[in-house]
């Protein structure tokens, strides 16, 4: 083989080797770029998730039933409700200490009459909730009864849209508001209707 042919082959091999190295560099650069983007998206996702959680706990996000339950469990909250409402979304406001306000947001159908307010269930922590509720229930002007679960239900006689409920052996007083007159009283009367989420 002549020197010229060897040089030509060396130049070709050098050219091929340079092309391979260039391709390898491009592949490595792309891999690094993809990794950086993925890590960046993960961090942004984490920030967005944290922001979502904060907003959700401030009552600023309408959640599905599944999202509500997951949030309550993840945050280790005590929140009572009266069960799910078909097609409803929910907001949860925990901005004030020792209280959680759950608002039902029914998704209105065109055929339904518009109701200005939504159902609301407040969960209030108090060290002596049951005993304090017994005292409040016995005040003049209040109506009261025990439901089948032994919960004390009481409300001002003139108030037809809301009741307070105290559960034995808990440190929580629950308030149920429903814009339909008499509905809150009916809900509080039912066995096992008022339950803790999670």
Q: For 26-61, how does the pLDDT look when each residue is reduced to its tens digit (9 = 90+)? A: 666 565 555 444 444 434 444 688 899 999 999 999
16: confidence class by pLDDT, cuts 50, 70, 90: low
Q: pTM for the complete prediction?
A: 0.73
Model pLDDT for residues 176-197, shown as the tens digit of each residue? 999 999 999 999 999 999 999 9
Domain 61-196 in CATH 3.40.1000? The answer is yes
pLDDT tops 50 at residue 129: yes
pLDDT tops 90 at residue 114: no
Share of the chain above pLDDT 70, in %: 72
Give the Cα separation of 185 and 178 in Å (integer). 9
Q: Answer for the pair 157, 142: CB distance below 8 angstroms, yes or no.
A: yes
Q: Is the dihedral of CA 175, 177, 181, 187 positive or negative?
A: negative
Give the mean model confidence (pLDDT) for residues 146-172: 94
Q: Residues 180-189: contacts with CB within 8 Å, 24+ apart?
A: 180/115, 183/119, 184/155, 185/153, 185/155, 185/160, 187/82, 188/147, 188/151, 188/153, 188/163, 189/145, 189/147, 189/153
The answer to which of 39-43, 71-75, 109-113, 170-174 has the lowest mean pLDDT is 39-43
pLDDT of residue 50: 86
């Amino acid at each position: 083989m002549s020197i010229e042919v060897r040089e030509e082959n060396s130049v070709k091999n050098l050219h091929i080797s340079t092309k391979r190295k260039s391709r390898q560099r491009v592949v490595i650069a792309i891999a690094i770029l993809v990794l950086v983007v993925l890590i960046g998206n993960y961090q942004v996702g984490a920030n967005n998730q944290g922001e979502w959680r904060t907003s959700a706990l401030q009552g600023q996000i309408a959640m599905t039933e599944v999202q509500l339950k997951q949030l309550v469990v993840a945050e280790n909250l005590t929140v009572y409700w009266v069960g799910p409402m078909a097609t409803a979304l929910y907001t949860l406001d925990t901005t004030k200490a020792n209280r959680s306000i759950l608002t039902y947001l029914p998704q209105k159908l065109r055929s339904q009459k518009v109701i200005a307010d939504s159902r609301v269930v407040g969960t209030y922590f108090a060290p002596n909730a049951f005993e304090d509720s017994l005292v409040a229930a016995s005040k003049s002007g209040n109506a009261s009864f025990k439901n089948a679960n032994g919960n004390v239900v009481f409300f001002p006689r003139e108030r037809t849209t809301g009741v307070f409920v105290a559960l034995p052996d808990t440190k929580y007083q629950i308030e149920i508001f429903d814009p339909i007159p008499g509905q809150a009283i009916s809900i509080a009367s039912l066995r096992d209707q008022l339950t803790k989420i999670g």
